[in-house]
């Protein structure tokens, strides 16, 4: 759970070098997570981007999935990452150049995609909607740019599924409830299908994977952030919090820790 948590400061414009390095490291850790890799593989098979197609990756981050999509539509297709954070867009461009990938990147907003109507064959949008206070508007933009018959994959976590074990159930419930305040749209995962049908698209398939934290390492920065805020809000005493920390630390020593959040993917198309 720790390395996959939503970070609302993705929107920040004035990044320090240290902020950028921290964010890139977090995204790289997520790229390497089994749950992310498995869900991406399942989704890419279901979405089936083909040579010659035009693809956009909305909220492309460091561009890892944009590069995978560019390879799938090569040699005659094109893949464009649209990213709100210019510092991340630059990282993606540097990585594409280093990898010899034809993927391109643009500064842009998911709420106003810099792409004309009905010109895109395939859209990918992964773990972006959870950060938006107007996610329906972003899905409406995706529907706008898709050509008739075009396909889309939305992938997102649902922070209502966060699990933490072991510990006193009341203390765990109070602490995991705090995770819901971290993202603008924390229940994004369960909302994806309804957002797509609401935008006039037809659902083709749905999949999921839990993002499971290493069972020997407590994600202390996240746990401390949540624990401290739970105590501040009067939902848990300091003694309960410290007991929970001790239970988690002890479980981790025996490989008995469980921290996870479930991520969902929905594939849909625009009717011809």
Contact residues for ligand SAM, defined by CB under 6 A: 10-11, 27, 59-61, 64-65, 83-85, 88, 109-111, 126-128, 131-132
Closest separation between CB of residue 97 and ligand SAM, Å?
18
Closest separation between CB of residue 164 and ligand SAM, Å?
21
**H helix or E strand, kind and range, residue 225:** helix 220-232
Closest separation between CB of residue 170 and ligand SAM, Å?
31
Q: Which is nearer to ligand SAM, 85 or 240 (CB)?
A: 85
Contact 43, 265 (CB under 8 A): yes
Q: Which is nearer to ligand SAM, 131 or 241 (CB)?
A: 131
Residue of closest CB approach to ligand SAM: 61
Closest separation between CB of residue 178 and ligand SAM, Å?
19
Percent of the chain that is helix, strand, coil (3-state, to 5): 45, 25, 30
Q: Which of 146, 259, 155, 250 is nearest to 213 (CA)?
A: 259
Q: Which is nearer to ligand SAM, 110 or 201 (CB)?
A: 110
> With left for phi above 0 and alpha for psi between -120 and 50, is residue 89 left, alpha or beta?
alpha
Q: Which is nearer to ligand SAM, 36 or 172 (CB)?
A: 36
| Tally: H helices and E strands in the chain | 9, 7
Contact 124, 58 (CB under 8 A): yes
Contact 234, 173 (CB under 8 A): no
Q: Which is nearer to ligand SAM, 188 or 240 (CB)?
A: 188
Closest separation between CB of residue 11 and ligand SAM, Å?
6
Concatenated DSSP letters of 8-42: GGGG-SS--HHHHHHHHHHHHHHHH-HHHHHHHHH
Q: Which is nearer to ligand SAM, 55 or 128 (CB)?
A: 128
Closest separation between CB of residue 233 and ligand SAM, Å?
26
Dist. CA 12–CA 215, nearest whole Å: 32
């Amino acid at each position: 759970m720790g390395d996959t948590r939503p970070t609302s400061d993705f929107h920040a414009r004035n990044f320090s070098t240290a902020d950028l390095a921290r964010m890139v490291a977090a995204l790289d850790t997520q790229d390497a997570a089994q749950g992310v890799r498995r869900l991406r593989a399942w989704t890419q098979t279901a979405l089936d981007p083909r040579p010659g197609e035009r693809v956009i990756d909305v909220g492309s981050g460091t561009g890892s999935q944009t590069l995978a999509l560019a390879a799938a539509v090569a040699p005659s297709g094109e893949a464009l990452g649209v990213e709100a954070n210019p510092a991340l867009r630059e990282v993606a461009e540097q990585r594409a150049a280093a990898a010899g990938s034809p993927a391109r990147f643009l500064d842009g907003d998911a709420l106003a995609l810099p792409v004309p109507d009905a010109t895109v064959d395939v859209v990918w949008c992964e773990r972006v909607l959870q950060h938006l206070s107007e996610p329906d508007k972003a899905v409406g933009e995706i529907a706008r740019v898709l050509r008739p018959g075009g396909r889309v994959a939305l992938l997102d976590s649902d922070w209502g599924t966060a699990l933490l074990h072991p510990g006193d159930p009341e203390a765990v419930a109070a602490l995991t409830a705090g995770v819901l305040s971290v993202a603008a749209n924390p229940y994004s995962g369960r909302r994806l299908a309804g957002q797509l049908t609401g935008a006039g698209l037809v659902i083709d398939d749905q999949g999921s994977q839990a993002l499971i934290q290493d069972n020997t390492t407590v994600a202390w920065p996240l746990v401390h952030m949540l624990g401290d805020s739970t105590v501040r809000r009067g939902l848990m005493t300091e003694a309960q919090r410290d007991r929970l920390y001790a239970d988690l630390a002890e479980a981790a020593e025996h490989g008995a820790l469980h921290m996870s959040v479930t991520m969902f993917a929905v594939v849909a198309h625009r009717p011809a």
